[in-house]
Amino acid sequence: MPDAGNRTRRGEGAAARIDGGGGFGRIGSLEICVQTSTPNPVIMDTPPAPIPDPVPAAATTTEVVVSEDKTVAIVSYLTLIGFIVAVVLHGNKKTKLGAYHLRQSLGLMITFIGLWIVNMILAFIPVIGWILIPIVWLGMFVLWLIGLINAAGGKMKPVPVLGDYYQKWFASTFE
């Protein structure tokens, strides 16, 4: 509510406050200084608020590159066919992340084949062999899952136990 010394005038959908001793009011985008002792009010134009800059193009292209790197890394862990597809994708655009996970995946596949042969032998050993077979496969599954999670996260982190050896053994592969 206006106090006794002030009056409020409304016009054209906007309100202007007129103080007894003068004051400022706003109509639309104009700021008005009104003094009751002067017959002509002083009108001051306020500049519009600055428009924020759009997102730089470099930020979006960086995400695309990381996405392409991750694609090769992730696909390399998905079966033998996925590994072959990842090798072809990596051949078109070589990246460090892709090469790293291709070496990790290749090492896991070779280890898988070696352990498959060992499990064939363990299958003929009663009780102890039958207990060890699921433990070996569970261990391989955990290593594969850790490699896949690292690839999805874009990390160049080796799988536990054998990952560092894979990087040494296949150092010049996929470069």
> Domains of the chain: which residue ranges?
7-45, 61-169
- The Cβ-side half-sphere exposure at 151, using a 13 Å CA radius, reads 28
Distance CA 33, CA 154 (A): 60
Separation in Å, CA 13 to CA 33, 101, 115: 19, 66, 82
pLDDT of residue 37: 53
Averages of pLDDT over each 10 residues, the chain, 175 residues = 50 48 54 53 61 54 58 89 90 87 93 92 87 91 93 90 90 82
Distance CA 162, CA 106 (A): 12
Cβ-proximal residues to 31 (8 Å cutoff; 6+ apart), any chain: 24, 25, 44, 45, 46
Q: Which phi and psi (to 5°) does residue 102 adopt?
A: -65, -40
